[in-house]
Amino acid sequence: MNFLTSQSENFMENKSLKCAEAQMLIRKPVTEVFEAFINPAITKYFWFTKSSGSLQEGKTITWEWEVYNVSEKIFVRKILPNKKISIEWENPVTTVDFNFEIMSNDSTYVTIEHCGFQQTGDDLLKKINDTTGGFTTVLDGLKAYLEHGINLNLIADKFPKKQMATRSNSKAE
C-alpha cells in the first residue's frame, strides 16, 4: 500500500470529522421532495433564486442568489432517483450529498451532508457551523414551502445587511 492510498483510506474512514450535516422530516412523498431539489422552478422558492437548468447527472449548473449578487457553479456527480443527489461545489471542491429516506407514503427524511473541507482548527469549526446553519435554513424553507405553500424568504432574510449593500452597489452603477 502506498502513501496516497493510505491517506485516501484514512480520509474515507474519518470523513465525518470534516463534514457538516443537516436533516429534516418533510411531510410529503419522496417523489415531491426529490423533485423540489432537481427542478429549479421549485427550488427557487426555498433556496437559490435562479439556475441555468435542472440537475442532471454529469452536468455543470450555475446557481444564483440574485439578492446577494452571488453565483456558484456546481457539478452533478450522481443522481439516484428519489434516493440521492450528489454534487461538487466550491473551490477547493467539496461534496454535498442530499439523501432522501422514505418514512411513510407521505413523509420523507432529508439529510444533507457536506464533506471535504480543507480547513483545520477554528477555521474548520466556523466552516462546519456556517454550512450546517445554511443547510438547516434550506431545509426549513423546503418544509414551509412543500408542506404549507409558504415562501418564508429565509435565504434573502438571512443576511439583510449584505442584501442592502448589494442593492446600494447596484443603484450606484
Q: For residue 135, give the CATH number of its domain.
A: 3.30.530.20
Please check whether residue 44 lies inside any domain of the structure.
yes
Can you tell me the mean pLDDT for 55-67? 95
Please check whether residue 4 lies inside any domain of the structure.
no
Please check whether residue 11 lies inside any domain of the structure.
no
By percentage, how much of the chain surpasses pLDDT 90?
76
Whether 96 contacts 114, CB under 8 Å: yes
**One-letter amino acid identity for 101?**
E
Please check whether residue 117 lies inside any domain of the structure.
yes
Domain that holds residue 168: 19-172
Please check whether residue 137 lies inside any domain of the structure.
yes
Q: Which of 63, 65, 111 is nearest to 88 (CA)?
A: 63
Could you give the number of structural domains in the chain? 1
pLDDT at residue 167 above 60? no
pLDDT at residue 84 above 70? yes
Whether 54 contacts 152, CB under 8 Å: no
Please check whether residue 1 lies inside any domain of the structure.
no
